């Protein structure tokens, strides 16, 4: 039936007026009332939600007018609730949760309680995933003095339980009882579940007793909640007790959720074998493991570094028809990334997308973290570009991982620019964001930038913590500014920030490096008085300085202090003492210290043995060194690459090149990589001309089966240091033609050429590397591109940027271009400081 609309011209006129003057209705009561009547008329038409006229009127309809519309339609509860939902989406006034609760208040104040209850139910369901919004809604009930009905209470209890708000759920239940409502069985289940989710197991058990007294029977749901609660507080004894009771009683048999909760609890306390026993038991009891069960076990395996076993379980899961979800895939991707297998993780990500499972922000963050840890910052930014393209908004963790990656490759100023981008996207940085940046700039020695970052934290209401100050103190100590570092320690104490052992150890190390051992000892004693000393690490730092100064008596006195303080000396402690004795030439004393270690139950490892062997070799006592090496192996301690390196140098220094070569051969057989010290020793032992020595060294190492990459890398570095970069370039080109790629050597050559402003030779080398199927490092690309820009070769620099994207496998080149070009710009501190100044404004930023 068609409904006649009164005066359509007037409606369109009002709509136009509303569009130009958003506050027109609220400021003119007569117009507001007319608009409410017109909208109420339109609600009587079929398919009113699609009415263009209604949309025009609603575009600036205030909550006050919307409440008048609902009053005019109060006899149609369903229509009113539909209109409430519709207007919330179409009016610029009613998008926010605050405005929705405001509209509810207006409905309550109009006395439309039946409609208010229906709207309340709709809002509880809508806000059930957001704690802040559900709490605001509950405040609205209190402010308006609104008495909920039973369906509202029951729905609210479920929402509070989902949000892990156990105590609030219990207080709501008490209010529900006070209002005269008798909770049903499902409400009692909900309250027990809510309390258990927060680990309030004792109140949950007391409440369970009340349920039994009332006459309700305990079922699987209530008992499963108890198992969950005990597992949450890591009380596996009681969790197993409840599980055993469930297994005996009819009507409360464990279900898939019960098993999953118990398996998760066992995994949390490291009882993985028992968890797998319960997983097998599930199948025997006819209760098949769910996706969550498998995911919990897969995560536990990944956390223990057993990624291969996790994939075997993943294959079993899929074979049994249990479909993996986003969390399962994310756990596997994160596990692979932590193992450094980023490409394999990327393969799992692609498989995930093929299976129709959409990655979450956690998935992308895991991949970004993997690439950043591997130093592959371009690929990390590509993941950012992909997630933005797919509509997955980056969060604070995303930016923290990227900023950490940039600091790891020595670009902390680019990380500061990323902080600005993060704030521009409406995200508030946290203390981790600042800690990453401050640590990054301190490592590079830019303390002024660190101070500015520290000052800008207050702009976002962030208080620095122990990690923040430790980064600054460590940076200052590395620059020898221990007095300034001490003042920061005092500031920490004044602010009430707990000082930990790491902070004080950094300061002790700073004083020791300046030879101020008394000051270091004072801090050490203060640390002991404050009972902050839990390990002998700080003492070891002080011992190390005394050792280097050959202050043996003071070292031994320090050992006495360690024992007096009740600390158990570590292997490092004894090793430092051994080193001090060797430095002072007391070989007998060092051997005596080895025996003291054994008698105290602190068995020596390879390091103290190696230090004594090195001392014996230096003193020309090779036979004794060989005997100690044999004794070391007899005691079950295997030599490492350092031990063998020491022996090689000892043989060469004492004119026994043949014995040195035999030792090198043993190193290779046992799988140890030859290092720069070995190559230097062999080179020193060859009595030939310089060029002949280099060639002889290469052929000698190849004959012994050593790494070609290692020896060529050493030779290239040595040539570049001597200014013979062209020769090293020719050598490396020969290796490339043979299919051998040595990244470190190429980085060295490019750095040498860039230092001499020979960018054209760098471009030729990069082109050759790419032509052989290899990809130069990000660092090499950066150096050459920045060099070309400085020389005014912007077009060639841009071509190289595109080549970097192509060689890195980047698909979204256009999206990545801005990121990469920003990364390739120079790292001047001036602009970076300006960015921090922009963040450090007098007023809080408005987003």
Instruction: Give dist(CA 686, CA 844) in Å, integer.
Output: 68
Q: What phi-psi label fits residue 430: left (phi over 0), alpha (psi between -120 and 50 degrees) or beta?
A: beta
The per-residue pLDDT for 442 is 93
**H-type helices in 181-252, by residue range?**
185-197, 201-214, 220-232, 236-248
Comparing 230-239, 320-329, 471-480, 511-520, the range with the smallest average pLDDT is 511-520
Comparing 60-64, 442-446, 552-556, 804-808, the range with the smallest average pLDDT is 552-556
The per-residue pLDDT for 23 is 41
Instruction: Give dist(CA 777, CA 410) in Å, integer.
Output: 14
The DSSP 8-state label assigned to residue 840 in this structure reads S
Q: State both tokens at 643.
A: 């031990």
732 CB neighbour count, 10 Å cutoff: 25
Q: State both tokens at 199.
A: 């680990």
Cα 697–chain centre separation: 45
Mean predicted confidence (pLDDT) in 335-352:
93
Phi first, then psi, for residue 267 (nearest 5°) are -65, -35
Instruction: Give dist(CA 77, CA 321) in Å, integer.
Output: 46
- Per DSSP, the residues of 100-111 read HHHHHHHHHHTT
Instruction: Give dist(CA 538, CA 102) in Å, integer.
Output: 59
Mean predicted confidence (pLDDT) in 26-32:
57
Q: Does residue 574 contact residue 610 with C-beta atoms inside 8 Å?
A: no
Q: Does residue 81 contact residue 119 with C-beta atoms inside 8 Å?
A: yes
- Per DSSP, the residues of 687-704 read -S-HHHHHHHHHHHHHHT
- CA-nearest of 367, 361, 423, 355 to 393 is 361
Using CA atoms, how far residue 449 sits from 253, 495, 592, 813, in Å, is 62, 22, 50, 32
Cα 454–chain centre separation: 21
Q: Does residue 777 contact residue 407 with C-beta atoms inside 8 Å?
A: no
Higher pLDDT, 710 or 301: 301
Mean predicted confidence (pLDDT) in 745-752:
90
Angle at 498 between CA 492 and CA 499, to 5 degrees: 70
Higher pLDDT, 103 or 842: 103
The per-residue pLDDT for 94 is 59
- The helix or strand, by DSSP H or E, that contains position 57, with its residue range, turns out to be helix 52-58
3-state secondary structure labels for all residues of 420-468: HHHHHCCCCCCHHHHHHHHHHHHHCCCHHHHHHHHHHHHHHCCCCCHHH
Q: State both tokens at 240.
A: 């197993």
Q: Does residue 25 contact residue 18 with C-beta atoms inside 8 Å?
A: yes
Using CA atoms, how far residue 470 sits from 474, 609, 696, in Å, is 6, 34, 49
Q: Is the pLDDT of residue 1 over 50?
A: no
Rg of the chain (C-alpha set): 36
Instruction: Give dist(CA 270, CA 301) in Å, integer.
Output: 10
Q: Is the pLDDT of residue 314 over 90?
A: yes
Instruction: Give dist(CA 114, CA 616) in Å, integer.
Output: 94
pLDDT tens digits for 443-485?
998 999 999 999 889 888 899 999 999 999 999 999 999 999 9
Higher pLDDT, 128 or 520: 128
Using CA atoms, how far residue 475 sits from 405, 417, 440, 481, in Å, is 19, 21, 10, 9
Instruction: Give dist(CA 132, CA 163) in Å, integer.
Output: 10
The per-residue pLDDT for 14 is 36
Q: Which 3 state secondary structure label does DSSP give 841?
A: coil
The per-residue pLDDT for 216 is 78
Q: Is the pLDDT of residue 165 over 80?
A: yes
Higher pLDDT, 773 or 554: 773
Comparing 318-322, 567-571, 638-642, 766-770, the range with the smallest average pLDDT is 567-571
pLDDT tens digits for 203-215?
888 888 888 888 7
Burial (CB count <10 Å: 0-12, 13-18, 19+), residue 139: exposed
Q: Which 3 state secondary structure label does DSSP give 809?
A: coil
Mean predicted confidence (pLDDT) in 6-29:
40
Report how far apart the first and last C-alpha atoms of the chain are (Å, whole number): 49
Q: How many CA atoms lie within 13 A of 726 on its CB side?
A: 2
Instruction: Give dist(CA 379, CA 382) in Å, integer.
Output: 5
Q: State both tokens at 396.
A: 């604070």
Mean predicted confidence (pLDDT) in 511-540:
73
Q: Is the pLDDT of residue 687 over 70?
A: no
> Packing angle between helix 829-839 and helix 412-424, nearest 10 degrees?
30
- CA-nearest of 409, 289, 379, 305 to 782 is 409
Q: Does residue 112 contact residue 72 with C-beta atoms inside 8 Å?
A: no
pTM over cut 0.85: no
Q: What is the mean pLDDT of the chain?
A: 83
Confidence at 86, pLDDT banded by 50, 70, 90 = confident
User: CB neighbours of 426 closer than 8 A, spacing ≥ 6?
Assistant: 847
656 CB neighbour count, 10 Å cutoff: 15
Mean predicted confidence (pLDDT) in 187-201:
88
Find where tokens 């209850």 sit: 117
The per-residue pLDDT for 550 is 56
Higher pLDDT, 690 or 60: 60
Phi first, then psi, for residue 112 (nearest 5°) are -90, 70
Higher pLDDT, 111 or 21: 111
The per-residue pLDDT for 119 is 87
Angle at 670 between CA 668 and CA 674, to 5 degrees: 35
- CA-nearest of 666, 690, 610 to 642 is 610
Comparing 273-277, 586-590, 600-604, 835-839, the range with the smallest average pLDDT is 835-839
The DSSP 8-state label assigned to residue 5 in this structure reads P
Most confident of 141-150, 357-366, 416-425: 357-366
Q: Does residue 449 contact residue 417 with C-beta atoms inside 8 Å?
A: no
Buried b (16+ CB within 10 A) or exposed e, 222-236: bbbbbbbbbbbeebb
- The helix or strand, by DSSP H or E, that contains position 311, with its residue range, turns out to be helix 307-319
pLDDT tens digits for 633-659?
888 889 988 998 999 889 888 888 888
User: CB neighbours of 638 closer than 8 A, spacing ≥ 6?
Assistant: 606
The per-residue pLDDT for 564 is 65
Q: State both tokens at 798.
A: 């841009």
Comparing 27-31, 184-188, 256-260, 371-375, the range with the smallest average pLDDT is 27-31
Instruction: Give dist(CA 541, CA 170) in Å, integer.
Output: 54
Instruction: Give dist(CA 153, CA 752) in Å, integer.
Output: 74
Higher pLDDT, 840 or 466: 466
Phi first, then psi, for residue 635 (nearest 5°) are -85, 5
Burial (CB count <10 Å: 0-12, 13-18, 19+), residue 45: middle
Q: State both tokens at 342.
A: 């980023």
For the chain, give the longest Cα–Cα distance. 114
Instruction: Give dist(CA 90, CA 51) in Å, integer.
Output: 12
The per-residue pLDDT for 571 is 83
Confidence at 433, pLDDT banded by 50, 70, 90 = very high
Higher pLDDT, 440 or 531: 440
Using CA atoms, how far residue 133 sits from 96, 123, 127, 174, 682, in Å, is 10, 9, 6, 22, 72
Instruction: Give dist(CA 553, CA 556) in Å, integer.
Output: 5
Find where tokens 């950012």 sit: 384
- Per DSSP, the residues of 506-569 read HHHHHHHHTT-HHHHHHHHHHHHHTT---STHHHHHHHHHHHHTT-HHHHHHHHHHHHHTTPPP
Instruction: Give dist(CA 278, CA 619) in Å, integer.
Output: 63
Q: Does residue 621 contact residue 651 with C-beta atoms inside 8 Å?
A: no
- The helix or strand, by DSSP H or E, that contains position 685, with its residue range, turns out to be helix 676-685
Instruction: Give dist(CA 252, CA 216) in Å, integer.
Output: 13
């Amino acid at each position: 039936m068609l409904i006649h609309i009164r005066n359509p011209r007037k409606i369109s006129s009002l709509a136009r007026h509303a569009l130009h003057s958003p506050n027109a209705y609220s400021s003119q009561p007569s117009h507001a009332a007319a608009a409410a009547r017109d909208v109420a008329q339109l609600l009587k038409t079929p398919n009113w939600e699609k009415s263009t006229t209604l949309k025009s009127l609603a575009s600036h309809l205030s909550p006050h007018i919307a409440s008048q519309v609902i009053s005019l339609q109060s006899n149609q509860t369903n229509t009113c609730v539909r209109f409430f939902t519709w207007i919330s989406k179409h009016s610029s006034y009613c998008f926010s949760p605050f405005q929705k609760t405001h509209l509810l208040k207006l409905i309550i104040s109009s006395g439309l309680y039946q409609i208010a209850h229906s709207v309340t139910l709709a809002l509880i369901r809508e806000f059930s995933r957001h704690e802040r919004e559900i709490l605001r809604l509950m405040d609205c009930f209190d402010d308006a003095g609104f008495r909920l009905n039973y369906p509202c209470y029951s729905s609210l209890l479920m929402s509070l339980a989902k949000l892990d708000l156990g105590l609030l759920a219990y207080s709501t239940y008490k209010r529900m009882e006070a209002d005269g409502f008798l909770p049903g069985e499902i409400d009692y289940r909900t309250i027990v579940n809510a309390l258990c989710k927060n680990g309030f197991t004792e109140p949950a058990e007391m409440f369970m007793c009340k349920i039994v007294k009332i006459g309700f029977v305990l079922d699987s749901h209530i008992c499963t909640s108890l198992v969950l609660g005990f597992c949450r507080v890591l009380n596996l004894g009681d969790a197993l007790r409840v599980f055993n009771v469930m297994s005996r009683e009819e009507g409360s048999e464990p279900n898939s959720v019960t098993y999953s909760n118990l398996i998760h609890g066992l995994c949390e306390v490291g009882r993985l074998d028992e968890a797998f026993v319960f997983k097998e038991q599930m199948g025997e009891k006819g209760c098949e493991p769910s996706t969550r069960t498998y995911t919990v076990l897969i995560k536990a395996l990944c956390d223990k570094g057993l990624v291969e076993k996790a994939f075997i379980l993943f294959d079993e899961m899929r074979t049994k028809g249990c479909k993996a979800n986003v969390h399962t895939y994310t756990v596997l991707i994160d596990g692979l990334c932590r193992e450094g297998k980023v490409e394999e993780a990327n393969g799992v990500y692609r498989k995930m997308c093929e299976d129709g499972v959409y990655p979450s922000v956690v998935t992308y963050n895991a991949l970004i973290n993997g690439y950043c840890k591997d130093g592959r910052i371009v690929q990390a930014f590509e993941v950012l570009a992909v997630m933005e393209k797919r509509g997955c908004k980056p969060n604070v963790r995303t930016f923290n991982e990227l900023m950490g990656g940039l600091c790891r490759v020595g670009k902390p100023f680019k990380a500061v620019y990323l902080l600005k981008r993060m704030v521009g996207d409406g995200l508030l940085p946290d203390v981790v964001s600042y800690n990453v940046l401050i640590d990054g700039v301190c490592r590079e020695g830019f303390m002024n930038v660190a101070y500015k970052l520290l000052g800008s934290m207050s702009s976002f209401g962030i208080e620095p913590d122990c990690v923040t100050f430790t980064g600054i103190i460590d940076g200052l100590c590395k620059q020898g500014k221990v007095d300034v570092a001490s003042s920061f320690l005092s500031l920490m104490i004044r602010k009430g920030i707990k000082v930990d052992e790491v902070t004080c150890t950094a300061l002790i190390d700073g004083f020791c490096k300046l030879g101020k051992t008394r000051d270091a000892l004072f801090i050490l004693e203060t640390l002991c008085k404050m009972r902050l000393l839990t390990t002998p690490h700080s003492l070891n730092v002080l011992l190390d300085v005394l050792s280097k100064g050959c202050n043996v008596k003071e070292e031994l006195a320090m050992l006495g202090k360690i024992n007096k303080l009740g600390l158990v000396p570590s292997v490092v402690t004894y090793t430092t003492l051994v080193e001090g004795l060797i430095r002072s030439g007391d070989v007998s004393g060092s051997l005596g210290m080895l025996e003291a270690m054994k008698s105290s139950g602190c068995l020596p490892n390879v390091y103290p043995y190696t230090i004594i062997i090195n001392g014996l070799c230096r003193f020309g006592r090779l036979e004794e060194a060989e005997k100690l090496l044999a004794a070391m192996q007899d005691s079950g301690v295997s030599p490492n690459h350092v031990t063998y390196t020491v022996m090689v140098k000892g043989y060469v220094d004492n004119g026994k090149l043949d014995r040195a070569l035999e030792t090198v051969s043993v190193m290779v057989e046992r799988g140890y990589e030859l290092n720069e010290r070995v190559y230097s020793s062999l080179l020193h032992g060859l009595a030939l001309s310089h060029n002949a020595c280099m060639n002889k060294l290469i052929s000698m190492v190849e004959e012994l089966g050593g790494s070609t990459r290692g020896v060529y890398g050493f030779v290239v570095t040595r040539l570049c240091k001597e200014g013979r970069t062209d020769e090293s370039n020719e050598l490396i080109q020969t290796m490339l033609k043979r299919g051998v790629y040595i990244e470190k050597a190429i980085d060295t050559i490019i750095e040498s050429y860039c230092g001499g402003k020979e960018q054209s030779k760098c471009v030729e080398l990069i082109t050759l590397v790419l032509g052989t199927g290899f990809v130069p490092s990000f660092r090499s690309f950066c150096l050459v591109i920045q060099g070309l820009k400085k020389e005014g070769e912007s077009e060639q620099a841009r071509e190289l940027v595109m080549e970097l994207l192509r060689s890195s496998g980047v698909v979204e080149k256009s999206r990545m271009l801005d990121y990469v070009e920003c990364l390739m710009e120079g790292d001047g501190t001036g602009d970076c400081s300006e960015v921090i100044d922009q963040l450090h404004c007098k007023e809080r930023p408005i987003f």
